[in-house]
Structure 1
């Protein structure tokens, strides 16, 4: 079978899983996640739960196109690879009205994420909202295939909760699937080295520490990005379950720490956005979360087993 598959503009979007960032670094060194911690994370931008889910009891975030009385409508369902294109979308309430009022969180009314199915592309975008409630942003996606678009927001309506809704996006062109990057505890991007310490356990919150260095020296002057010294997004392989966490107090580096949990065992892709010298960069990691009771065996097989991070 030919490894290159032509995706037309009318093709159905492939099932998206993860993505790596524009400029995401390559990973090295295995990391297998497994350790219990007390609960205490944020899922999406809303209140954290021990199952790591948002958007309704027992459900992971980003899997629904509609939830809580709101629907994500992607007005640009297809784009062409390698062509800068305006993507338009809206959040619509049950009455069919476009939402025009949102709570601001981390400096923005809405956070928009694009992730590809073959784990090679990731974008954290900041779209602009028109008066009628239509959001728009431009993007140039170099690789064809299926993508998932996530909208992370909280409506301004009284009693509204944080939601992360997801919709499929098809990128036309010649599709060449890529293998999932190997589990890693180190990522390099634009001359920066980011080391990941700590483990995740399904349904329990644990601490992750990410240490940023450049040319062998710790970076101690990270700059705030959207009101924090780092932003972390986790996506689960297979169904695109989404988790967006934010750091503990501290900074400005070299360590950025997070409290985070995941809703189940499986393979996850973590993306850390950090800003230094006026530019945002993204470091990506692959992490396997074993089923309960199997962490010791997985650590033995992978050669990993560093203790979970502990500092705030």
Structure 2
């Protein structure tokens, strides 16, 4: 009897031990699955955060590039070609200028030196000089009644179109019978930079005349202060000896007849300094050399 009881106890112990081991195995398996699920969830969350960061970085870079493009959208200025075309005609004492963009639309022009347009006309030999201001007639057309003597001319339309690149370039203009144009103008550099017109004397002095450097032009009006003209005490126009390169000049002072410019090529240039005395504008020509 005693032996039978011991056998029963042993079997019970083995069964109990098997149950314990089986239960632990099931628990371990479930816990492993949970850990794997948690690890997978954490990895997915991390990947999502990583992807979110990458996407945000991409968006930031894209926005930055757009912003840079927009902020630096002065590419009109960077264009080497003019986005505006000007045509000049002369017929029966009327000068007509047609201004159009590449889409044949009339661009809006800004006021520059008190005028919407400055029309510079010089004879082919650079002897005759006219500074005119045509008036707007609509649809990009500007006109002015002015009698030009028979000759071959070059016209320079000095305008400031809004948001469009523009470079002043010569437009050939023939008035009257055919005249031979000078391929090269034999300009002689002035040894004396003092000129007298209508009993008013002006002397030109300059800083060093070199290329790609700021140059100051100083006009001594010999104690007589000129009257304001085109928003300054004077106006200056410069052309190269071929009459092709129009050099922009800007007033450097509101109280003195000083002007600033820059030359990008060496050569001989003709300078016209315009000053208003006694209600009349005198144009003083000077020939200088840039080395």
- Conserved in 2, the CA contact under 8 Å of 1:230 and 1:246? no
CA shift, 1:238, in A, is 2.1
Mark the runs of 5 or more structure 1 residues left unpaired by the alignment: 1-53, 60-66, 291-312
- Conserved in 2, the CA contact under 8 Å of 1:231 and 1:273? yes
CA shift, 1:118, in A, is 0.8
Secondary structure of the residue that 1:238 maps to in structure 2? coil
Which residue of 2 is the match for residue 72 of structure 1? 86
Query: Which structure dedicates a bigger proportion of its chain to strand?
Result: 1
Q: Give runs of aligned pairs for residues 291-302 of structure 1, distance below 5 A.
A: none
Which residue of 1 is the match for residue 30 of structure 2? none
Q: Give runs of aligned pairs for residues 67-146 of structure 1, distance below 5 A.
A: 67-74=81-88, 76=89, 85-99=93-107, 101-145=108-152
CA shift, 1:196, in A, is 0.7
- Conserved in 2, the CA contact under 8 Å of 1:114 and 1:148? yes
Using the size of structure 2 for normalisation, the TM-score is 0.65
Which residue of 2 is the match for residue 204 of structure 1? 213
Q: Give runs of aligned pairs for residues 244-263 of structure 1, distance below 5 A.
A: 244-251=248-255, 255-263=256-264
* Count of residues in correspondence between the two structures: 211
How much is the aligned-residue C-alpha RMSD, in angstroms? 2.5
Higher relative contact order (CA 8 A, sep 6+): 1
- Conserved in 2, the CA contact under 8 Å of 1:144 and 1:175? yes
157, 160, 185: which one aligns with 1:154: 160
Alignment CA distance shift 1:107-1:239 (3 Å):
closer
Q: Quote the Cα distance in structure 2 between the aligned partners of 1:232 and 1:289.
A: 17
Query: Which structure dedicates a bigger proportion of its chain to helix?
Result: 2
- Conserved in 2, the CA contact under 8 Å of 1:55 and 1:163? no
Q: Quote the Cα distance in structure 2 between the aligned partners of 1:276 and 1:228.
A: 13
2:241 is the alignment partner of 1:237: yes
CA shift, 1:165, in A, is 3.6
Alignment CA distance shift 1:212-1:173 (3 Å):
farther
- Please list the CA deviations of residues 35-94 of structure 1 after superposition, one character each: whole Å capped at 9, or x if unmatched: xxxxxxxxxxxxxxxxxxx9867x7xxxxxxx43211122x2x56xxxx71110111111
Q: Quote the Cα distance in structure 2 between the aligned partners of 1:269 and 1:246.
A: 16
- Conserved in 2, the CA contact under 8 Å of 1:72 and 1:166? no
Q: Quote the Cα distance in structure 2 between the aligned partners of 1:161 and 1:154.
A: 9
- Conserved in 2, the CA contact under 8 Å of 1:55 and 1:68? no
Using the size of structure 1 for normalisation, the TM-score is 0.61
144, 167, 170: which one aligns with 1:166: 170
CA shift, 1:182, in A, is 4.4
Q: Which runs of 4+ in 1 moved over 6 A?
A: none
Which residue of 2 is the match for residue 180 of structure 1? 187
Which residue of 2 is the match for residue 32 of structure 1? none
